[in-house]
Amino acid sequence: MDRRDFIGTGVAGAIAATGLTPAAATAAPAAQGKTFQCDYAPHFGLFRTHAPNDIDELKFMHDQGFRSLEDNGMAGRSVADQEKIAKEMQRLGMRMGVFVVNGSTSWIPSLATGKADLRDKFLAECKAAVEVAKRVNAKWMTVVPGQLVPNLEMGYQTANVVDALRRASEIFEPHGLIMVLEPLNPWRDHPGQFLSKAPQAFEVCRAVNSPSCKILFDIYHQQITEGNIIPNINLAWSEIAYFQIGDNPGRAEPLTGEINYKNVFKHIKSKGFTGIYGMEHGNSRGGSKEGELNLIKAYREVDSF
């Protein structure tokens, strides 16, 4: 498919008819403002050549039909920025996707060790995340249990992780919040992480046994780690609360790699999923308005099932 034909004729007429900003009206005039079948959530930076700051980018996202935002680094923003973003999202009627709970304990051997100081540090991050979630109206938050412990049997590591996550669930449950555990691929991006496979995440969630502990099924990571995407979604379905997107290879938008996203989205939608699909990927033609419009066109294509 030649996506260079994306910006069609009649842009000026589209601007006049919709009353949108020129930048917004250049993107897919025929679909301008139309929501997608699935609730895809871009992150800040995907459309930065069209919108120079976060608030303008939120407006641009909304103009293109997106109704959610994902921001991994939300917890690291100032309270003022969190409140400003939340206020604009509320005005636009947009949902908040995930942000990362435990930035300091995700990339070291932490929960799997069973060490009380590391567990307590993680739980402090969970308590802080509750306040962030309140400010930005978030429901789901990403948790990465940390790295493997090389000199400890896997069974003991799993028990340590489950124990820590049970305590975290006690923090989140009263607020109706859900931490979503993200298995990360060990072959390209994240070697040495404790959690790498969907069945493993399913096992941990069943052991924690809390509505506040579910799976973030990142289709990019799981394609690399184990493939078998649709069957694994079916098998893990009862514990999945959130999806993330990225094609492979390249971790860019759909239609750039080997994953048949149109069929995957159709399958997830058919199962009644009403949650968010986080666009945790880059842009194959990044740094240009053409590349950003091309990304939107790709989502229109894979959403047309």
Helices (H) and strands (E) in the chain, counts: 11, 8
- In angstroms, the first-to-last Cα distance of the chain is 17
Nearest-angstrom CA–CA distance, 33 and 27: 10
Is residue 28 pLDDT above 70, yes or no? no
Torsion of CA 145, 148, 149, 152, to 10 degrees: 100
Nearest-angstrom CA–CA distance, 233 and 284: 26
Give the residue from 2, 42, 10 showing the smallest Cα distance to 26: 10
pTM above 0.85, yes or no: yes
How confident is the model at residue 31, as a pLDDT? 62
Torsion 117-149-99-276 (CA) sign:
negative
Least confident of 24-28, 32-36, 211-215, 250-254: 24-28
* Coil, helix or strand at residue 66: coil
Q: Cβ(107)–Cβ(122) under 8 Å?
A: no
Q: Cβ(255)–Cβ(247) under 8 Å?
A: yes
pLDDT, mean of residues 246-252: 98
In 39-151, where does DSSP find H-type helix?
A: 54-63, 79-92, 116-136
Is residue 15 pLDDT above 70, yes or no? no
Q: Cβ(252)–Cβ(291) under 8 Å?
A: no
Give the residue from 198, 304, 292, 305 showing the smallest Cα distance to 253: 292
Within 70-197, strands assigned E span 95-96, 140-143, 178-181
Note the pLDDT tens digit of each residue in 134-172.
999 999 999 999 999 999 999 999 999 999 999 999 999
Is residue 290 pLDDT above 50, yes or no? yes
> Percent of the chain, pLDDT > 70?
90
Is residue 235 pLDDT above 70, yes or no? yes
Helix (H) or strand (E) holding 289: helix 289-302
Nearest-angstrom CA–CA distance, 84 and 303: 31
Note the pLDDT tens digit of each residue in 75-98.
999 999 999 999 999 999 999 999
Break the chain into its structural domains and give their ranges. 35-302
Is residue 21 pLDDT above 50, yes or no? no
CATH of domain 35-302: 3.20.20.150
Q: Cβ(192)–Cβ(186) under 8 Å?
A: yes
Note the pLDDT tens digit of each residue in 269-286.
999 999 999 999 999 998
When pLDDT is cut at 50, 70 and 90, the band that residue 33 belongs to is confident
pLDDT, mean of residues 118-142: 98
Beta bridge partners of 179: 141, 213
| Residue 213 backbone class (left: φ over 0; alpha: ψ -120 to 50; beta: rest) | beta
